[in-house]
Amino acid sequence: MALSREAYQAFEGIVGTDNISDDPALLDSYRYPLSHTAIHIGPYYRVYTPRGEAVLLPGSAEEVQAIVRECNKYKIKFKASSTFWSAWGYPLEENTIQLDMRRMDQILEIDEKNMFAVVEPHVIGATLQAEAMKVGLNTHIHGSGSSCSCLASATSLGGLGPDTNYMGHHSENLLGAEWVMPTGDILRVGSIGSGLGWFCCDGPGPSLKGLVRGMVGMNGAMGVFTKCAIKLYPWPGPATLPVEGKPPAYKAVLPDNIRVYTLGFPAWEAWADSCYLIWEAGIGYIAHRQFNMFGRDLKGAMVKILSDPTKTLSDIEELLDDPEVQKMTEEMKRDYQIVLAGMTPRDIEWQDKALDRILETTGGWKVQGMLDPDLYNWALLYMIRLGHKNLNLVYGGGYDGCFGLGGTPDFATSGPETIPRVEEATAFKAEWEKKGNIVATGGDAMMGGIGGMGGGGHAMWESFTHFDPHDKASTEGTLEFFDAATDYGIKKGWGPGMEKMNAYARGADGRSTPKEIRERILSAAAQPEAFRYQRKIKETFNPNDLGDAYYRTLDEPEK
Amino acid sequence: MALEDYKADMERCSQCSYCKWIPLDHVKSWRFAKGCPSIAYNNFLSYSARGRFAVALSLLNSQSNYTDRVVDIVYKCVTCGSCDVSDKICRYNLEPLEMMHELRFRLVEDGQLLPQHMAVIEHLRKEDNMMMEPRAGRGDWAEELDVKHITSEQAEVVFHAGCRFSYDKDLRETARTAVTLLKNAGVDIGIMGKDESCCGGKAYDMGYKGEFVKFAENATEAWTAAGVKTVVTSCADCYHAFNRLYPPLGAKFEILHTVQYLDRLIKEGKIKFTKTVPMRVTYHDPCHLGRQGEPYVPWEGKEKKIKGQIVVYEPRKPRYNGAWGVYDPPRDVLKSIPGLELVEMERIREYAWCCGAGGGAREAYPKFSNWTATERIEEAKSTGTEAIVSACPWCERNFTDAIDTTGEKMKVFDVIELVQQAI
């Protein structure tokens, strides 16, 4: 249903003629293909998110507020997104306008002394990091990479990434937010709400961090965040990354107090032990099983390709026959990458010694092939800037994660029988790879951090599955595999995996999941009461129901 | 190739938004992080490579039709190729710039034309130039220049002045200097003078492939008849046309930009400097000399899959991602000039910001084109230099016009002018 001319003109009056459009082709560039990276539903071949009624480009919080007020007046849903990386940011239903927050892209402040930045929605990890580094600071970069909005992950999603072990989840880094509520009122959450600056999201002042943020955020379904403050961390490196080389094999030679290693281990138990020991030692700036997203069998060849501008994917097969690559691939079978950043020369020497001691204790090693200067300097830049993160789409253009073994490292690396869960999942996927619909990576393409949350805790293993979204058989074969993975996860007691993570909100047609299915899924969650409580929050803060099903709510059970 | 052949690219686009930025590794500041002028100016997603993939797919699937907005989306792009470089940071099987050209070819075929482009193309058909000038004045730039005319005398090297240098009276001295420098260094050089025509490259970028082919065939025929082995030009657009677009049509000449030839002659000691040029300058990489200046590599093959679903090509497909463009010769020339100090901007080489003159933007969208140039001047100013130097008359003209608009004090030079000052 198209917007009424009256409503369109009201919106046009707010943002101006140049910043609104309802042209059909333009609107189609704001539809997300579920045959691609479905972000944890599907994939569904040639299915798209619904077309919005209009796209608006607001330029200020006041404009957002005025838009939301008109939405309440005309009962039109709205969905804001900044960098549009995933299906979360797109409408679920007709009668929804899309807010593209691109014009609000300012870094409003970097407070060097108090180590935080105040940013608008379209500030991305790369720009914030570049500006922070000029004053000796750094920002957490979300796992989706440095092209993504800092505000979106800090206010509205989980916000974990490779540097989480040192710089936390962005959910932890939020120090305050300006929130245009679904009613159109503006609330400044945290100390900023009392005019005391951006230092604390929990007050003094309105402390609604738990309500607006929680652990997983409101997924863009309850109002619009128009600015926020993010905690920054020390950066003991140069003010500008000294990048060199030909594309895409960019590299950075950094001072010796910043080092990167790929660590390999003889067994999964040793792998997990090393994580605990690293937390105990308090070392590590970035620690993540990153390059395994290319797959256990292919990652050695892939890092060679990506660090050499003369190579392409056509070189994979030849490289797989190279004994040197084979040796490195074998050494990297159970691995992760770690960046050490010493605040002083003594610090880096101590950290390296501590790491060597951990490797001695666990029987692990520094993968020698990755110490080759070309690979070393490439990996160092990759891990720090996370500017190549979308290599998860390099093979055929499509990826999604499955399983998602979340917990302590022991959860993935051990099992109720003698086989670690990671190897069970690997064997299961390897069998499906033989059908030819997903990339044959050797089964294990699991990627994730070694933990976070202040030096321990939660590790997340997402099993990357690569497919071709242009190929019907590949896309449908991937869906078939994901359905099987869900069944397998349930059978093994792991629960449904990341492949179904958003099934509660968006269905196979790209639209809202029917209520009865949504309620069934959410009722089966570990804490369904939380969603009943969220229903009350929604009724209070969003009385006209102008958000969408990404905000999880449950009706009271029938008595 | 046809637009339909890029449907795979449209459906495989990663939605990552890399196309909007310079390669993220190279981001040094918030201010100069953007790579694509089109989305930076127009803001809607549709004005990025990602958005244009989606718009093209929508049209191919008949989900939408041509509208004024669609025409705007397709033509309001400088075809600078910044998106192409950034997309290829993470992908080996996407060609956003090629798709963009095919999309324009389709719009032209379907009669979805811009009046401003139509006027220029109509003139091109009649007068063989993109400058809305009469054909009769084509050779005026070389008046009284002591150089061979290859239609009557044999020369190994032909200097192609191009439309801008031929008709822009403020700039034509640069072309005369280029010829003189090469001739004095012993190069057996000639020109076509009044018989020279447009290279066709700009028509290609605007979507008029038929016009381009006509001019490419005519030039190739004339050079062949004259026994030309090497074509030299001081225009980046012409260089790109000769270097990348002519070879698929059968042209087989050595193509050099003047900066490459000057660099060679300086290193061989055939050009010697006698004066200092005490100046701090910054160098702007023209898109068609830099990231689009990679040599053409013939390829005929097909897509295949390995390891189940990894998309590769058989035989190996050449990859154009800006890695092997012409970046060092102009810099080496500038560095060799006594007294001259070269200071780099933040966005350089394969990730340089465009001057705004390309893709028909200067002709159809002067405000957008001027804004794009102004952005570059701002970046040049941030280096603290007094001049911006380029190797293309279209860049030089657009920068000069932008400076005239804003009242900046930045000077604009061609590399050739600074070489001449040092001799």
Chain B residues 183-212 within an 8 A CB cutoff of chain A: none
Q: State phi, psi for B386 to the nearest 5 degrees.
A: -100, -10
What the block records as the tokens of B176 is: 């005369």
Chain B residues 87-126 within an 8 A CB cutoff of chain A: 88-94
In angstroms, how far is CA A215 from the centroid of its own chain? 14
The total number of residues written for chain A in this structure: 559
SS3 A366: strand
Under a CB-based contact definition with an 8 Å cutoff, are residues B29 and A130 in contact?
yes
Contact: A250, B25; criterion CB under 8 Å? yes
Among A23, A385, A466, beta carbon nearest to B24: A385
Contact: B307, A28; criterion CB under 8 Å? no
d(CA A229, CA A116): 7
Contact: A102, B85; criterion CB under 8 Å? no
Task: Specify the amino acid at residue A455.
Answer: G
Average the pLDDT over A519-529 and give the result.
92
Q: In angstroms, what separates the C-alpha of A337 from chain B's closest C-alpha?
A: 18
A to B CB pairs, distance under 8 Å:
228
Average the pLDDT over A159-184 and give the result.
94
Under a CB-based contact definition with an 8 Å cutoff, are residues B342 and B380 in contact?
no
Among A316, A388, A467, beta carbon nearest to B306: A316
d(CA B416, CA B361): 26
Q: Which chain A residue shows the shortest CA-CA distance from B60? A: A25
- At CA A256, angle to CA A255 and CA A258, rounded to 5? 80
Average the pLDDT over A365-392 and give the result.
97
DSSP symbol at B244: I
Average the pLDDT over A374-386 and give the result.
98
What is the enclosing helix (H) or strand (E) of A339? strand A335-341
What is the enclosing helix (H) or strand (E) of A108? strand A107-111
Q: In angstroms, what separates the C-alpha of B34 from chain A's closest C-alpha?
A: 10
d(CA A411, CA A446): 14
Contact: A24, B63; criterion CB under 8 Å? yes
Task: Specify the amino acid at residue A484.
Answer: A
pLDDT of the residue at A1: 62
Q: Which three-class secondary structure string do you get for A396-427?
A: CCEEEEEEEEEECHHHHHCCCCCCCHHHHHHH
pLDDT-derived band at A559 (thresholds 50, 70, 90) equals confident
Contact: A24, B91; criterion CB under 8 Å? no
pLDDT of the residue at A179: 97
d(CA A527, CA A522): 9
Q: Name the residue with higher pLDDT: A427 or A159.
A: A427
Among B11, B18, B64, beta carbon nearest to A25: B64
Q: Which segments of chain B have a pLDDT < 70?
A: none
Under a CB-based contact definition with an 8 Å cutoff, are residues A498 and A404 in contact?
yes
pLDDT-derived band at A452 (thresholds 50, 70, 90) equals confident
Under a CB-based contact definition with an 8 Å cutoff, are residues A556 and A528 in contact?
no
In angstroms, how far is CA B300 from the centroid of its own chain? 25
Contact: B45, A84; criterion CB under 8 Å? yes
**Which residues of chain A are within 8 Å of residue B26 when distances are taken between CB atoms?**
243, 250
Among B13, B43, B55, beta carbon nearest to A57: B43
d(CA B284, CA B274): 25
pLDDT of the residue at A456: 63
SS3 A550: coil
The closest alpha carbon to A133, from A441, A341, A351, belongs to A341
pLDDT of the residue at A205: 78
SS3 B62: coil
Which tens digit of pLDDT belongs to each residue from B210-244? 999 999 999 999 999 999 999 999 999 999 999 99
Q: In angstroms, what separates the C-alpha of A476 from chain B's closest C-alpha?
A: 13
Q: Which chain B residue shows the shortest CA-CA distance from A378? A: B25
Under a CB-based contact definition with an 8 Å cutoff, are residues A391 and A306 in contact?
yes
Please report the domains of chain B, with CATH numbers, ordered by start residue.
115-267 (3.40.50)
pLDDT of the residue at A495: 87
Under a CB-based contact definition with an 8 Å cutoff, are residues B193 and B142 in contact?
yes
B33 inside 8 A of chain A by CB: yes
**Which residues of chain A are within 8 Å of residue B348 when distances are taken between CB atoms?**
none
Q: Say how many C-beta atoms besides its own lie within 10 A of residue B194's C-beta.
A: 15
Contact: B43, A103; criterion CB under 8 Å? yes
CA trace torsion A188, A192, A194, A196 (10° rounding): -170
Q: Which chain A residue shows the shortest CA-CA distance from B54? A: A29
Average the pLDDT over A476-481 and give the result.
97
d(CA A364, CA B5): 49
d(CA A125, CA B379): 22
Q: In angstroms, what separates the C-alpha of A74 from chain B's closest C-alpha?
A: 24
The closest alpha carbon to B181, from B346, B385, B416, belongs to B416
pLDDT-derived band at A454 (thresholds 50, 70, 90) equals low
Average the pLDDT over A281-302 and give the result.
96
Among B64, B310, B324, beta carbon nearest to A395: B310
Among A26, A127, A396, beta carbon nearest to B310: A396
The closest alpha carbon to B394, from B166, B231, B193, belongs to B166
Sign of the alpha-carbon dihedral angle for A163, B14, B315, B300 = negative
pLDDT of the residue at B83: 98
Q: Which chain B residue shows the shortest CA-CA distance from A239? A: B28
Q: In angstroms, what separates the C-alpha of B25 from chain A's closest C-alpha?
A: 6
CA trace torsion B132, B137, B138, B141 (10° rounding): -120
Contact: B73, A394; criterion CB under 8 Å? no
Chain B residues 307-366 within an 8 A CB cutoff of chain A: 307-313, 316-317, 319, 321-324, 350
B304 inside 8 A of chain A by CB: no
B296 inside 8 A of chain A by CB: no
Task: Specify the amino acid at residue B298.
Answer: P
Contact: B23, A123; criterion CB under 8 Å? no
**Which residues of chain A are within 8 Å of residue B52 when distances are taken between CB atoms?**
29
Task: Return the residue in B307, B312, B313, B382 with the most chain A beta carbons within 10 A, the one to mutate for interface testing.
Answer: B307
Which tens digit of pLDDT belongs to each residue from A386-444? 999 999 999 999 999 999 888 888 888 888 777 899 999 999 999 999 999 999 999 99
Under a CB-based contact definition with an 8 Å cutoff, are residues A32 and A90 in contact?
yes
Among B12, B33, B90, beta carbon nearest to A391: B90
What the block records as the tokens of A282 is: 């308090």
Least confident range of A100-114, A448-462, B101-115: A448-462
